[in-house]
Copies of this chain bind each other. A is one copy, B any other.
């Protein structure tokens, strides 16, 4: 099983790097071409969320993306933010989406989670095993 790890300072520009790497490694791992748009979007959303949390909590720690192919293509995106912030995301119902009282941040977070949940069949969001933080774990099948 080959593993590629990418870690980056929590800046928006590096989310692009993460998408680029995530899709390149997915392609090489044998993920079907028609799934790559989803992979790109999902890795982007998970990293965008992690970068936003690090900025919100003033954390300079890097965000980690770990990609491994052992029968399937598994991607973990790990942040280091306090756990209450990370877990318990919920998708928003349509009538709340354009509600004036909803902040832009809350909206973007809700929409980001809806995209993750909607595009990734095999998705887990859970506390990291060691230390502080949350990991978003996504798995895609490989091969035809």
Which A residues lie at the B interface, using CB under 8 A? 1-9, 11, 13-14, 16-17, 20-21, 24-25, 28, 62
17 A-B contacts, Cβ less than 8 Å apart?
Answer: A1-B9, A2-B9, A2-B11, A3-B8, A4-B6, A4-B8, A4-B17, A5-B8, A13-B28, A14-B25, A16-B28, A17-B21, A17-B25, A17-B28, A20-B21, A20-B24, A21-B21
Q: Give how many copies assemble into the complex.
A: 2
Complex: chain B residue closest to A23, CB-CB: B20
Beyond contacts A13-B28, A16-B24, A17-B25: 11 other A-B pairs, Cβ-Cβ < 8 A, are A1-B9, A2-B8, A2-B9, A2-B13, A3-B62, A4-B6, A4-B7, A4-B8, A4-B9, A4-B17, A16-B28
Complex: chain B residue closest to A13, CB-CB: B28
Complex: chain B residue closest to A20, CB-CB: B24
Bound-state Cα–Cα, A23 to B16, Å: 13
CB-defined contacts of A21 to chain B, threshold 8 Å: 6, 17, 20-21
CB-defined contacts of A24 to chain B, threshold 8 Å: 16-17, 20
Partner of A5, one of B6, B11, B28: B6
Complex: chain B residue closest to A9, CB-CB: B2
CB-defined contacts of A4 to chain B, threshold 8 Å: 6-9, 14, 17
Known: A13-B28, A28-B17. A5 touches B5 (CB 8 A): yes
